[in-house]
Every structure is written in structure tokens, then in C-alpha cells.
Amino acid sequence: MAGPAQPAQDLSFEQALENLESIIERIEQGEVGLEQSLAEYERGVDLIKRCRAILERAEQKVEDLTGKMMGDSASN
């Protein structure tokens, strides 16, 4: 990895996913040793948590908007 990694909570969904894909690729290709693999794995877990949190918020927003839309059409 080049330079310090940006905290997972500061990344957009796309950035976190890109970082995660990069980690997976490096580990699968054997580009890192055991200790670095463990550190990368830990980073990957943080990135997965970030992606899940973003997806859960997006899902909730869609449900809220759908509920409002259904409520609006029911009152018409």
C-alpha cells in the first residue's frame, strides 16, 4: 500500500469497494507476507462494515421514499 490508508469511515461506497478489491487482489496474488495479509484483512473488514453501513442507509432511504410515495398515492 502506498502511504497511510484513509480511514474507512471517510470513504464513499465506491472508494471503499475499490480499496477492498485491491486488498483482495494483493492477498490472492501473494504480494504480501503473513503479517501484512493480516493487516490487510483487518482493513478489509473495516471496509466491508463501511460498505454495509452505506447500503443500509441507502436501503432505508429507498424504503422511506417508497412509503411516502405509496402514502401519497393512497391519499389521491
Query: What integer pLDDT is reported at residue 34 of this predicted model?
Result: 94
Q: Which helix (H) or strand (E) holds 71?
A: helix 34-75
Helix, strand or coil for residue 5?
coil
What is the CATH number for 68? 1.10.287.1040
Residue 4 inside a domain? The answer is no
21 part of a folded domain:
yes
- Examine residue 27 and state whether it is found in any structural domain, yes or no: yes
Residue 2 within any structural domain of the chain: no
Task: Please tell me the predicted confidence (pLDDT) of residue 75.
Answer: 65
Contact between 55 and 13 (Cβ < 8 Å):
yes
What is the extent of the structural domain holding 23? Answer: 12-75
User: In this predicted structure, what is the pLDDT of residue 5?
Assistant: 85
- pTM greater than the 0.85 cutoff: no
Averaged over successive runs of 10 residues, the pLDDT of the chain (76 residues) comes to 79 98 95 94 98 98 92 71
Number of domains in the chain: 1
In a domain, 59, yes or no: yes
